[in-house]
Amino acid sequence: MESYEIKPDKKGLCLMVNITNFVGLDDLNPGEGNLLATQFQCLGFTNFVHTGHITADHLRKIVQDVRGYITEEDSLFVACLKSHGTKGKIITSEEEEIELKEIVAEFNNENCPALEGKPR
Mean pLDDT within 84-94: 94
Percent of the chain with pLDDT over 90: 73
**pLDDT averaged over every residue in the chain:** 92
Domain ranges for the chain: 14-115
What's the predicted TM-score (pTM) here? Answer: 0.88
Is 42 in a helix, a strand, or coil?
Answer: helix
Write a three-state SS string for 3-40.
CCCCCCCCCEEEEEEEECCCCCCCCCCCHHHHHHHHHH
Beta-strand relationship, 84-86 and 76-82 = unpaired
Per-residue pLDDT tens over the stretch 11-59: 999 999 999 989 877 777 766 777 888 999 999 999 999 999 999 999 9
At 113, the pLDDT band (50, 70, 90 cuts) reads: very high
- CATH code for the part of the protein at 14-115: 3.40.50.1460
Q: What is the reported pLDDT for 26? A: 77
Q: What is the reported pLDDT for 43? A: 92
Give the H or E element holding residue 41: helix 31-42
Partners of residue 55 on adjacent β-strands? none
